[in-house]
Amino acid sequence: MQYKVLKNVLSQEQIESILDFYNEYRHLIEQQDNGWEKLNSPWSFDTIKSLDSVISQHIDTSNNLGDNIYKHTFPYFPHVDTHGGYPCVNVLVPLYVDKPQKFIIFDQYVKEYTPRTYMGDIKLDKDFKTNTSTTFISEDTDVVGLTNKPIDQKFYNDNLKHEYRTEKMFYGCTGHAVDFTPGNIIIFDSKFIHCTGSMLADYKIGLSLRFSGEYV
């Protein structure tokens, strides 16, 4: 399995403390377009670093490669967050959602540890210009595990459908719809393609962390 879910490992008090931190440091938000906000590098602050006592029980957290607290209303495109050409692990901490929401982790992954976002023929400004690709997942020869079949219709309709994300964008893919539930922590291998589920919530807030090392 390319991911694990640590259920009910954070208290409501811990979650509220992080949300208070996010609101207190909103002046540090560096990106704010296309329904997306990011507060970068929160791991350097004690409020966020306090999560290390939980996360370090499951992965090596000695080398943080990148992190942010994000808020968005727009479902992010399929992508990988690999870093620097070597193995790394993503840690996703759901913080707020007002309706049931999914996070999608696909069975397909990339061989080369280079970040990319699959946007097909979609072109958007600003937020989605970094690490983007105009190709489809099915056209990337670096992707492993493609089925050469359309994505399951029900899985697409239930978990991925959006005006900017057509079925063609997910051709050849299979995956898992993971609950985006505050209190849980989702850990997964950074080389696996993943994305936001269909946005059922008005918006969601999460903490994204990335550490060097092999996922086990």
- Report the C-alpha gap between 88 and 96 in whole angstroms: 25
Q: Cβ neighbours of residue 129 under 8 Å, at least 6 residues apart?
A: none
- Report the C-alpha gap between 69 and 205 in whole angstroms: 7
Identify the CATH number of the domain defined by range 3-212: 2.60.120.620
Residues listed for the chain: 216
Nearest to 193 by CA among 76, 96, 93: 76
Give this prediction's pTM: 0.94
- Name the residue ranges covered by the structural domains of the chain: 3-212
Q: At 18, give phi and psi (nearest 5°).
A: -70, -40
Q: What is the pLDDT of residues 31-44, one digit of tens each?
A: 666 668 999 999 99
Provide the mean pLDDT of the chain.
91
At 34 the pLDDT is 67
- Pick left, alpha or beta for residue 126 (phi over 0 → left; psi -120 to 50 → alpha; otherwise beta): left
